[in-house]
Structure 1
């Protein structure tokens, strides 16, 4: 308002001065005076605009030009606006830096995309997950770098309520759950490595399928024989006895499976750690060898080489692990074969070894022997009464005891299972 008041007053004074001069000296001198004053005023305004321009372009704009009146107000207002803009810019920069720091600290991948889907920024996890290069890939369309068809369809659908699962990588393949979220005029791509979750889910499905398969056969046998036993009153005594024996055999098989499942579940959960104590290994192996001979029924020749020293560990777990290795040797060694059990002191620690002259294991199967329900020969394993969980139990017991399992085998010649315990677990004879 003051600007217009002063402007009107100045123009009114100039008009009054021109009228007085015109009345005294005539119109020409009056007109010349008015034009001269206007030109001087215009020159002053141009000079002030040049000062304003130089000040705005100056490297150090903190030095405010000294000026009064209207131009002084203009300089002050611009200076305040400039300061406020600097504060706002600093706040935005700080907020952006904090966002990037937070995104960089996340254990998942984060990519910032513009409205066209071009990459503006990404954190270290996203760089690793998608194999990105900060100097090369910023500004590139995300669909050109993440080339899975599933992602392209997902990005173009604009329906991002649910994430999409991508499999990325060439050497080490990983499963990523990718979610797009609208963000500040662009998009935020959030990627989470779910490889382990997918593996666990696969193991869960396989486990359920394997348990169902293992239980289906004995249940079918039991139900098949129960029907004639229950309804055929004229069934011969010999057939009835044979049916009952087969039912008992299948029931025992299911019982062994349930016991192994419970043992494996306890070992994997570690929710009930067992108390460790000095274990009389020679006495334990004597018992297990007696059980092995009973299982063999005289069909195999047993040899033993047992040193008189003990081991610090859990007796129940060690019994389960050693017993499984001995019983496996019995089951997979043909009649007339030899089974040798050895317990000895080695330079690296204590060695438990079971060797046989059985059917052997092809080399490609050895790395997977300790997987649950993994069998080299499914038909033979079923015939011998194995549950498919024995070596998985052995693996978890040895993990609890910091031991290592080595397997050597030649098809048609036999196998040797070597368990090496650390020297710190060895104890003198506990007899």
Structure 2
């Protein structure tokens, strides 16, 4: 291109030189130079017109020309071919993506930054009742008419999925995941979780029914064993140890059934109307119980609490907080330190139960709230744990709008934190040191 530009300059200089010479010979230098410049300009305008028509018609071959304009036509033609190839590749990739997402059983929807529906696959049409011809470019919140979906869509924070009934079939349960991309555009994944919820309901019903059925015979067995223990002096000596062990294991089974029933109730019932809970009094009572339990281990159990009450269920919170405090007593060696701290800050109100025990390997922490998950099976067998305590804590906090955080390292102790939002505080102005 640089060579062509220089060549065009030399050509113009040559034309002007010839025009000047010819004009000097005939005695009309200015007129001849003006005429040459006019012709030169007309020629360039003609080439520009050719370029304009070619770009409009998008012909395969560029116009014929020479010099700077010929190089320009060739360069533009090469760029056009390169762009066509790039567009063809992009179209092929886009078609492949659309074909693959169309084959998914889960619904996939693309929504622009204004909340208007741009594209969706066949599964989304089936799950949400979308119509290809009329629903395009309409607000997604007008097509999925559910207040919880609108609230979820507008909040711009999608850490957890949303689960609602299908807008076209209330017997179908749908789960939505939203991901932000580009300039506040959204990719929405929608899947049918009806069967999964049915299976969970069947599991919960089985656990609840089995626990109820086991409770009566176990109560009878435990009662007879207690009677035998009361009269063990009259029984043969070799029976005493066996009866004592059977009684201990029956008590452990009763604790397990009680925890299963409590967990089933937490999962299957709606949270009732909450009332103010005097948390400080509750924690003082739990501290006293913990001191009684840990007498042989000589633990130092410290309580630091701000006078902040929250809305909730007293029995449920007492069960959750008690699980954390008594777990600290169970798993902290002799002469260990346990600190219970109830405090508030800008994020809300929090309970911390911290110990300086053996700690837990970090790889176990994400699964500690699963039912019957044991980071160390021997610890539960030695302490009589059911493996359901942290699962109960998790569900109680969920029913109170809270969450559980676990911090622990092997050899460095553990800290269990319950976080509650500020909206749970009974009186947001009440605070004592």
TM-score normalised by structure 1 residue count? 0.50
Bigger radius of gyration, 1 or 2? 1
